[in-house]
Structure 1
Amino acid sequence: MDASVAAVGLVATAPLQAVVALAVLAKHGRPVLFRQPRPGKDGRVFELVKFRTMLLPDAQRVSDADRLTPLGRFLRSTSLDELPTLWNVLKGEMSLVGPRPLLVQYLDRYTPEQARRHEVRPGVTGLAQVRGRNGLDWDEKLALDVEYVDHRSLALDLRILWETVAVVLLRRGISAEGHATMAEFQGQAMAEPVEAESVETRS
């Protein structure tokens, strides 16, 4: 079902993706797509694909906040930057619903309970995304990921997909306060917050 919906979604959004790609090319230059290794089911690493929302770093633009453009903010707030991720779903690397794929360096920072989020394929959207997105702290987000793993079902997936529409339309929880996205996950010993997606040839 994931593959079928992703295939239909890619065809249906092809004209929109073409417009977004041209806008990204005009504003951000090349590359248009952000590609980054992310851990999937059982921690197996795959390449996540999204539209790029940040300028490439230079001497004047170091932080995510400096590099995130008005176009990038719009793409993130509307989740249009996520459309290419349907390719990851079509390839079987992701599901439509599941814990969001985070950074590879987080793998050894999870507690054994938090690491259970990798018992299923990561999703384009998930329980944490409809319960607060980046407005939640890390403990809350990871607990919701594990809750999804324990209670996953077709009915829950359909409910999350429906609630995702409302979250996107209302543009809730796009970023944590004071961050372009969210502070870096440091595990049990939280250090000075750093932007989680500071390396961008990405989205």
Structure 2
Amino acid sequence: MNLPRNDPARTGTLRRPAVFLDRDGTLTEPRHYPSRPEDLVLQAGVGPPLRALQQAGFALVVVTNQSGLARGLFDEAAVPPMHRRLRELLAPHRVRLDGIYLCPHHPGGVVPRLSVVCSCRKPAPGMLHQAAGDLDRDLSSSWMVGDSAGDIEAGHRAGTRTALVAPQPLPGVAPTLYRATTAEALTAIAAREIPPA
């Protein structure tokens, strides 16, 4: 399930980069199986670096595992209002998302059609591949930003650079960069990617 948007920044054969963002615990504050719009609270300080990356030509794409659907904790009708809420939270920062991609699957779920092994659930790279194809983005110059080993593994499998957001490094996880907060990670990416004025 995904809600991609057309990307106005496509230019000929030049494939531009993206920043892929995990949602829960990365772009928004961690919640246990959030299912209502009011459950989504933007992480502090993410607006300015997201806007800078967007202005530099990066697509901003959310890629999120939502196993609560397969587990029967909420249904698909709950998803669009949450996506609208996410866009509303970013709008005051003049940030727009180019796509929101979610995986509703989990092999241990209770909803039969969603209780499958799939190619989209991170650490599989399916959502990143789909978004890159839909938005004509170059994975090798893109970033995956997330708070779990699965996020970083998905980025590695897709061929992106990776940024881990966590209170401390995770054993056995080797991201391109590590920061304690999402705002710090995005600021570090912007410093690497955007030439000085």
* TM-score of the superposed pair, with normalisation by structure 2: 0.26
Larger relative helix fraction: 1
* TM-score of the superposed pair, with normalisation by structure 1: 0.25
